Amino acid sequence: MATVAPSETKTMLTLPGDAVRQIQWRFADRFDLQMLVQSARGVARGTVARLVAAGERNTHEWTPGKAEMMEAFDRAGITAAFMEPEEGGFISGPKNLALSLAAFELAWVDGGAATASLAGSLSLAPIHERGTAEQLHHYKSLSAPPQPGEERKTWRGAFVLTEPIPYVGVDTGMLSGKVRVAEWKDGEEPWLQVDKRGRFITNIAFANFVTAAVGSDDERIKGSCFVILEETDEGTFDHGTPTKKLVHQLSSTGDPIFNMKVPASRIVGGYTVKDGVIVPNYSHGEVLEAVFKRTRVGVGLMTAAKLLSAVEPVIRYQRQRFRGAEGAKPGSIRYEQGIQQREDALHRLVDVWATGEAAASLGFATARLFDQIEPVEKQKTAMLKERGIQGGRAEMKALKESEQRAIELLSLKEDDPRRAELAADPLVQYVLMDAETNVICPATKLWNTGHGTNILREAVSLMGGYGITEDCPGFLANKWMDAQLEATYEGPEAVQRRQLTVTMTGEVFLALFRSWTLEMRRIASTRPGTGACTLASAMKLWLWTLEHLQLAKDPTGGKLYHGQRQGVTFALADALCWLLASRYQILDTMELEARGGDDPVASEGLEGTVQFLSDLCHTQAAAAAGEVSRICAELVFGYNQHPNWDEEEHKSCFLASELEEYEVTMPGIGAMAVDVIASDGSHPQKAGPCADCAGNNEFLRLQNRLSACLSGSRLAKDRAAENVATVMIPEALDYPV
């Protein structure tokens, strides 16, 4: 392999450890989260790894071993991480980062284990987001593990939205689950009859309660709602048969059937009675919106963990590949470096690693932002309530002014005195954070799991035949297959893309995006090695394309940027995700560089670590630029009709006879002309005269510039690859296979 590292280049000596990660992912000052990470890791690399190694994934049934895993979660504090201290938890305030870190640790070993941990929180999420105070306290307290001396079992819940085909999937509005009035005596609370069948419901084998989405089948109940059903309620609570999953077998999944009578107080968020009709305070759609707004980030981080977890086993495999062979004596390059002598093997591992870094940075940024927005959102709600505004259109109208103030803030220079005033306005803070979360949450779910799955295939392939065996260290083949489920559940890719196509065109988001482009240029001016300039150029190209497509039409006059035109909107959403992942990766590397020196552990070998992570950023930025360039070019030119060789379309071509005339005044033109029609009407063998780029010259200028901006990116990749070949790894993986 070519040696490109200048002599002063520092190299990373060991794999990034906890101290580095805590700074990058911003929980260096959160001792509670650090403890949670350690205990979740203990369960993952102990109980969970042993279950996988013992073949517990080979059965669809819920086994004592899998049940023991749930108990281990309880003992390790993973279950209680979702609760407030007064509900039996130990973390107060927002917990998105906490839950994400726990899921990340579990998924490092097994995705099903991580899902099992998240599913309990998901079952409580409707209650957490929209439940009444009593519902919240009751179900969260029961779902927290018992305190010492308390005689009870931990309650476990399941979230029941998906139904047997043809109902709920992507279109969550279509429900076949129904609710009717069972009994309603004068002056007493009504009783409801709930009929719901679930499909693919996680945690169902052992659930004591479920939160289920149902629509009204009775004129005395308005619309739809979520209801809470308990195992001991009157009627049928059938846990159903286990789903024959090919993935995530450590979690329980099945198709339950419910036919139950429950009091109306089980409607999540309560209800009022208006003219003899029960009106739920929240429709099932409103509950879902609040739930999915927050919960998808953990899933995205599960795939990120798997990508990063692949690095160490692949390095070990590559290095040891030829040991034991006659020709590979200790000390020889073949013995010491194995397959790592080969550039391609290293480059592909660099790609896996860079993707994992970007996915983790994007996911943890989203989780943190969710934590930050929670108190601000409460403040916003209180402020608007004071003005007599509570949700709906009135709120959207009221926030319009704050949106304009937010956009103004983003346009002000650093030293503008108005900045402080605007930045201190909680409503401005809210609309900014809201615009960002509404994009980066679906982006995390979409890019981390979708693209992440593709890259996990690369990781598996780097292990050769071993990669697709049960014996593969790091369970890589399981992780690859499991990732496909992560891309599917809590709404498959189409759901995320649909959300992105709406949120990414918001005025505030686009203003933020413009400011991020400048931010990348600023970073590039002092840290060109991060690829920030490449990224900024790619961001500019994406924005130009979006603006162009919003006005452009196809040859039949149809609008290109349109909700029904997923070929355009979804592709642009995909392109955006690449840019976002790369941006947060660069920001995390900058954070490490800025703060690493203050930490006694992270400061050791810091320069080398920052250099390596910067090279990964550069590699990833170049990959993002290539993807964006390809997608945008296809969209900008792909909807133009290609010219034909017919009379109408070849007006711009030269006739051979004309060329002879022109040659007199413009010597040499004959050699330059490309689309020449001969006197017998024949023409060059191709689709038609070359399409011109009328109106799209600016695109080509930006795309050209972007190509030149790739300068240095392969040198960075070479440098990262060299470092991968020398970085020290432990003697053996720290969990059994």
Ligand X SMILES: Cc1cc2nc3c(=O)[nH]c(=O)nc-3n(C[C@H](O)[C@H](O)[C@H](O)COP(=O)(O)OP(=O)(O)OC[C@H]3O[C@@H](n4cnc5c(N)ncnc54)[C@H](O)[C@@H]3O)c2cc1C
Question: Which residues make up the interface to ligand X (CB under 6 A)?
Answer: 119, 158-162, 169-170, 200-202, 245, 248, 253, 485, 488-494, 566
Nearer to ligand X, 211 or 517 (CB): 211
Of 166 and 465, CB closest to ligand X: 166
Minimum Å gap between C-beta 306 and ligand X is 16
Minimum CB separation from ligand X for residue 366, in Å? 19
Distance, in Å, from the CA atom of 342 to the CA atom of 376, rounded to the nearest integer, reads 52
Residue with smaller CB distance to ligand X, 226 or 612: 226
**DSSP per residue, 621-633:** HHHHHHHHHHHHH
Query: How far is Cα 79 from Cα 641, in angstroms, rounded to an integer?
Result: 57
Is residue 180 within a helix (H) or strand (E), and if so which, with residue range?
A: strand 178-183
Pairing of strands 676-677, 654-655: parallel
Amino acid at the residue 162: T
Which residue number, 200 or 584, has a Cβ lying nearer to ligand X?
200
* 286/490 with CB nearer ligand X: 490
Smaller CB distance to ligand X: residue 492 or 626?
492
- Smallest gap from residue 123 Cβ to ligand X (A): 8
Q: Which residues contact 135 (CB under 8 A, 6 or more apart)?
A: 127, 228, 268, 269
Q: How far is the CB of 323 from ligand X (least distance, A)?
A: 40
Structure-token pair, residue 56? 């517990």
Task: Tell me the closest approach of the beta carbon of residue 167 to ligand X, in angstroms.
Answer: 9
How many angstroms separate the CA atoms of 236 and 259, rounded?
5
The count of other CB atoms within 10 Å of the CB of residue 359 is 30
As beta bridge partners, residue 258 has 196, 237
Q: Are 675 and 650 in contact (CB under 8 A)?
A: yes
Helix spans in 271-342 (H): 284-309, 311-320, 333-337
- The DSSP call for residue 690 is P
Q: Cβ of residue 513: shortest distance to ligand X, in angstroms? A: 25
Q: Which is nearer to ligand X, 199 or 316 (CB)?
A: 199
Percent helix, strand and coil across the chain, each to the nearest 5: 60, 10, 30
Question: What's the min distance (Å) between Cβ of 499 and ligand X?
Answer: 12
Quote the tokens at residue 602: 């992270």
Compute CA distances 569 → 69, 334, 548, 562, whole Å: 42, 50, 12, 7
Counting beta carbons within 10 angstroms of the beta carbon of residue 704, is it exposed (0 to 12), middle (13 to 18) or buried (19 or more)? exposed
Query: 62 or 489: whose CB is closer to ligand X?
Result: 489
Nearer to ligand X, 21 or 296 (CB): 296
Q: How far is the CB of 216 from ligand X (least distance, A)?
A: 19
Tell me the one-letter amino acid at 46.
G
C-alpha 231/C-alpha 209 separation (Å) is 6
Given the complex with ligand X, which of 242 and 263 has the nearer CB atom?
Answer: 242
Q: How far is the CB of 531 from ligand X (least distance, A)?
A: 31
d(C-alpha 635, C-alpha 459), whole Å: 31
Burial class (CB in 10 A: 0-12, 13-18, 19+), 590: buried
How many whole angstroms separate alpha carbon 629 and alpha carbon 706?
Answer: 8
Choice between 566 and 640, CB closer to ligand X: 566
* Residue whose CB is less far from ligand X, 173 or 375: 173
CB of 162 to ligand X, least distance (A): 3
* Residue 231 CB, nearest approach to ligand X (Å): 16
Q: Which residue is nearest to ligand X (CB)?
A: 169
Question: 173 with 191: CB under 8 angstroms?
Answer: no
Cα angle vertex 478, ends 474, 481, to 5°? 140
Q: Minimum Å distance from CB 493 to ligand X? A: 5
